[in-house]
Structure 1
Amino acid sequence: MTDPDTAPPGIAAAAAEFGPFEGRVWCNTAHQGPLPRSAVEASRHAVALKAVPHRIADEDFRQVPEELRALLAELVGGSPEQIALGDSTSHGMHLIANGLRWQDGDEVLVLAGDYPATVLPWRRLAPYGVRTTALRPAGGLLTAAELEAAITPRTRVAAVTWVDSFTGRALDLDALGAVCRRSGVLLVVNTSQALGARPLDVSRTPVDAVVSCGYKWLCGPYGTGFSWLRPDLLERLTPQHAYWLAMRYGHGGLDRMRDTVLRDDLGVRAFDVFCPADFLNVLPWTASLRLLLAAGVDEVAAWDQALVGRFVAGLDRDRYRLVSPAGGAGRSTLVVLRDRADDRAAADNADGAEGTTRTGSAARTEATAATEARHRQLTAAGVDTAFREGALRVSLHLFHTAADVDRVLAALHAPAP
């Protein structure tokens, strides 16, 4: 087990690339991952290129996105020919939802309360007769048995989020994927709150599509993302656009640009976001990915879990209730908690005498007031977290230290404002 008091050399070297965050502790990577210094320098280089554009070669429009594609393939254990470059999680979800050929009565399974990007692309298929069914797992975390029971002969897709943004719970992709494979159902996974903090090997994990943004745990700029598409899924998808520069792939440079033949041999590049060379985003994200891969995602995951373990062990459970798992395979790097004063307020509202029970928005406000106040208190103390859906979310990543964790705990255990 990794000792949170001593960072391994590779982690220490990577962590030295981040911060110092103006003296604050950034614990909101689940919202925005910070850029390492190498990525900041790459951003400056991208700006300099645009300021003096004669330094941008025609070949850069092909080479820059292909370098990024290769790094992303290495990250997930796939091939560059399976990586579609995007600008968000939504890009990948939509290219699948819009690219499949649907029939009236087809069904997509999602999870009730899941992140909107994982759900909304399928709901917009309703005019075509596609039904979206929201599952409500009994224990809050979808099990293989529950998924298997929910699948019908009309189920085509199960779309899930690996690590839930609001509860910090991590799904068992191996178990869920095995169910989908047996049933002939596509498993599409939003991995935005996991990749960079959890290793994934698509050659071993039975998933059909991996979709992620790049600006959280992968520490890229906002407006980055990608999808890994299993080859047999890729063959079933119909492109929804015809980007002129993609049509030039493998056909020389930009000296001849009037060719308007619509090609159907582009493979995954037919699904790339427009302008995939996007130097201002791609160059810094490439630098961040190189840093993470050099450190080793397995090592990053072990370090992150050591930090989370220290945090969970030091948390006063009499004052705070963990929403996220305290341990086990379901624990992620998102620690979600509530002030127990809010739980008591919620119970009072539910059990109050007739005529005195608070309902509606007033009751909801009372049931989150203490946790929200703690969030403000942490911010004032120089600890940046997130307040989401009535809970406090703390995100710990490779650039944090044991001292950072202790500072967060001290701020949480300080007297209430």
Structure 2
Amino acid sequence: MEALIERSAFIGLDGRAWFYGGAESPPPSVMLEAVAAYVRNRANGPLGRIQNGEVEQACRDNLAALLEGRPEQIALMSSASEAISMIAASCRFGQGDNVVVHDLEFPSGVLPWLHLKSSGVEVRVVANRGWRVTAEDLLAAVDANTRIVVTSHVSYMSGVRIDYRSLYRELSKTKTLLLVDATQSLGVVPVSVNDADFVVASSYKWLMAGHGGGVLAVNPRRTELFEPRYVGWRSVEDMFSDTRFEHFRFYRDARRFETGYPSYPTLYAMKASTDLLLSVGIGRIAAHVLELGGRLIRDMKRIGFEPMTPEQPEWRAGNISFVCPDGERLADELQRQGTYVWGGDGRLRASIHLYNNSDDVAKLVSQLAVLADRSAS
């Protein structure tokens, strides 16, 4: 099975098998020209600001297309963590209110809510069952005092894909909001802002751009009156109005969550990388990673590794995790052999994207078979 794009389109893939995209993607070659274009435009002074704005809008358009939304629903942040923290700080909690999370969630999706416990907010943690969390599991923890449910679309830990669409169908009948972290899915499987109240993502993993960028997509269906607790000059409709020392008006769209300039080098890179993703097509990318992931799970089971990620395609995306008490050591060994995976927390994780192929899978499995035999002897 061939990669969906020539490996020469990336820097760092020569002679390497890159299964590290859940942490860092290999940089697309177009990133070099994109960042260089930012520097050149910066030298154009006032014209450069216009050029930055054009790239920013094009990037916003691409992200909206990936999220099945509209450009005005997209806020450009510094990170997914910033976006989650902003939402947490902006929720109007009362005494006895609660937040529902689960134990397969990345720390950035948990910490902002734990910080609110001192204010009387209860944080309910739903336990996984066999490395899975279902929409029904999360709904069982929701009551009349639940203000928001927070879940990743795809778990960084087990690779399980959570059915947030079914979750939102039920939550939309209540006053409970839904925040979905699509950091481990946006760019590799379909994601829709129409099936959540907020969707956040990072720029440097599956979106294949640089660090310093975060995405916040806002569904106005139930959040039209949701206002951030902090504000900057980019948040307001007219920062230089005659009454600017008396009052202000937030933008009505997602721009109200932006406080200052974004990281333009990152936006230039993300515009280029999302051009690439959209040209290939998320449907094709999803089919590719699901087929390769299924092959990897079957081959790894054959050599004795227990998968944490379900084999059923509807339950997974690009992250494939395996129970592995010495995962960190094996990841270090594989790195020395030119194969990049993530190891730690009692697991080994291989992340499959459009640049991976059957040879990568065969290389990883054969290397691990040798390492496993060596450990057994």
Structure 2 CA distance for partners of 1:245 and 1:181, relative to 1, 3 Å: closer
Matching of residues 131-210 of structure 1 within 5 Å: 131-203=122-194, 206-210=195-199
Is contact 1:34-1:220 (8 Å) kept? no
Cα distance in structure 2, aligned partners of 1:319 and 1:115? 27
Cα distance in structure 2, aligned partners of 1:402 and 1:330? 21
Cα distance in structure 1, aligned partners of 2:294 and 2:34? 34
Normalising by structure 2, report the TM-score: 0.90
Cα distance in structure 2, aligned partners of 1:392 and 1:139? 16
Structure 2: gaps spanning 5 or more residues: none
- In structure 2, what residue type is equivalent to 1:199? P
1:238 has 2:194 as partner: no
1:312 has 2:318 as partner: no
Matching of residues 249-288 of structure 1 within 5 Å: 260=244, 262-267=247-252, 268-276=254-262, 278-288=263-273
Structure 2 CA distance for partners of 1:372 and 1:91, relative to 1, 3 Å: closer
Given candidates 356, 368, 375, the residue that maps to 1:412 is 368
What residue is the counterpart of 2:317 in the other structure?
332
Is contact 1:374-1:416 (8 Å) kept? no
Q: Size of the alignment, in residue pairs?
A: 371
Is contact 1:323-1:336 (8 Å) kept? yes
- Counterpart secondary structure, 1:117: helix
Is contact 1:108-1:122 (8 Å) kept? yes
1:114 CA displacement: 1.8
- In structure 1, what residue type is equivalent to 2:31? A
Bigger mean CA offset, 235-244 vs 193-202: 235-244
Structure 2 CA distance for partners of 1:186 and 1:154, relative to 1, 3 Å: same
1:112 CA displacement: 2.4
Cα distance in structure 2, aligned partners of 1:404 and 1:19? 16
Structure 2 CA distance for partners of 1:113 and 1:163, relative to 1, 3 Å: closer
1:34 CA displacement: 2.0
Matching of residues 354-373 of structure 1 within 5 Å: 368-369=325-326, 371-373=327-329
1:308 CA displacement: 1.1
String of CA shifts for 1:327-348, please: whole Å, max 9, x gaps.
2311221111134xxxxxxxxx
Cα distance in structure 2, aligned partners of 1:55 and 1:384? 43
Cα distance in structure 2, aligned partners of 1:285 and 1:335? 25
Cα distance in structure 1, aligned partners of 2:52 and 2:301? 53
Cα distance in structure 2, aligned partners of 1:28 and 1:98? 32
String of CA shifts for 1:249-277, please: whole Å, max 9, x gaps.
7x8xxxx799845431412212115212x
1:382 has 2:338 as partner: yes
Is contact 1:177-1:207 (8 Å) kept? yes
What residue is the counterpart of 1:353 in the other structure?
none
- Counterpart secondary structure, 2:48: coil
What residue is the counterpart of 1:44 in the other structure?
36
1:245 CA displacement: 4.5
What residue is the counterpart of 2:281 in the other structure?
296
What residue is the counterpart of 2:210 in the other structure?
221
Cα distance in structure 2, aligned partners of 1:164 and 1:6? 26
- In structure 1, what residue type is equivalent to 2:346? G
- Counterpart secondary structure, 2:320: strand
Cα distance in structure 2, aligned partners of 1:378 and 1:48? 39
String of CA shifts for 1:130-166, please: whole Å, max 9, x gaps.
2111111444422233223221111111111111111
Structure 2 CA distance for partners of 1:265 and 1:132, relative to 1, 3 Å: same
- In structure 1, what residue type is equivalent to 2:105? D
1:27 CA displacement: 1.1
What residue is the counterpart of 1:31 in the other structure?
23
Cα distance in structure 1, aligned partners of 2:130 and 2:299? 26
Cα distance in structure 2, aligned partners of 1:152 and 1:118? 20
Cα distance in structure 1, aligned partners of 2:137 and 2:288? 32
- Counterpart secondary structure, 1:108: strand
Cα distance in structure 2, aligned partners of 1:383 and 1:296? 26
**Percentage of identical aligned residues:** 27
| Runs of 4+ off more than 6 Å | 256-259
